[in-house]
Amino acid sequence: MTQTPLEALLAQRHSVRAYRPDPVPAADVAAILTAARRAPSGGNLQPGHFLALTGAPFAALKASLAEGIAVNRPPVAEYDYFPDPMPPQFKARQRAAGAALYAALGIAHRDVPGRRAQFARNYDFFDAPVGLVVTIERDMGKGCWMDLGMALMALWLAAEARGLASTGIGALAHYGDLVHAALDLPADRMVVCGIALGHADADAPVNATRTDRAAFEEFAELRGFDA
């Protein structure tokens, strides 16, 4: 079966963790964010906010994060990203994704310093020329997080359609207080994640990493269909 253009975009999209320094025009960033806002939204509340950074403001944020990491500042997370404890089937997927990433980088399983250094790259947005900080109003209900997730997916596909690469940075929420201080964010906004945006470095081994998706039977079922 021939893929639709949307299906092709979904198939080719992947997390990119090494970028070229080429700048991204403001018009492209604005167009991508505008497309993201077209995502479905219950009651048309359109929750969430996107702050796009480049140049000096972006460098200042990354410097603040680097300073916090250098002094082993304890993480301050306002929400749980993963279940605790992690069910076995999800833990297996998480381990497989990590193994693929570190194998591409040549980092051994027991190389704890190497793994920590790679994780710290999250806070440098993997050298992307543009960083997005995603926030949501603190008093939003759980359904509004679903709405924001749909907007994020629309954002990633819009970026892909323009030939740009991206990756989500959930780790940014670990230092939401630092992000708040560095960017002088309104008190009613919670830091959800960051996004690295730019042109992929095709020569970087890390960008060869791909993760498998669950078999259809694991996540879906069809009832009442003739064929």
pLDDT, position 44: 97
Indicate whether 199 belongs to any domain: yes
pLDDT, position 72: 87
Contacts for 220 with CB less than 8 Å, ≥ 6 apart: none
Indicate whether 113 belongs to any domain: no
Indicate whether 177 belongs to any domain: yes
Q: State percent of the chain over pLDDT 70.
A: 100
Indicate whether 117 belongs to any domain: no
Token pair, residue 95, equals 């381990």
Indicate whether 219 belongs to any domain: no
Which residue, 157, 145, 7, is CA-closest to 81?
A: 145
Indicate whether 67 belongs to any domain: yes
pLDDT of residue 1 exceeding 80, the answer is no
Most confident of 24-38, 83-97, 205-219: 24-38
Indicate whether 216 belongs to any domain: no
Q: What is the mean pLDDT of the chain?
A: 94
Question: 25-34, 48-57, 135-144, 204-213: which range is least confident on average?
Answer: 204-213
Task: Residue 179: give the domain boundaries.
Answer: 14-82+124-205
Indicate whether 101 belongs to any domain: no
Per-residue pLDDT reduced to its tens digit, 60-92: 999 999 999 889 888 888 899 999 999 999 999
pLDDT, position 77: 83
pLDDT, position 227: 74
CATH of the domain at 149: 3.40.109.10
CA dihedral 165, 167, 172, 178 (to 10 degrees): 0
| Number of domains within the chain | 1
Q: For residues 55 and 162, is the Cβ–Cβ distance under 8 A?
A: no
> Given pLDDT bands bounded at 50, 70 and 90, which one contains residue 103?
confident
Question: How many CB atoms are located within 10 Å of the residue 70 CB?
Answer: 9
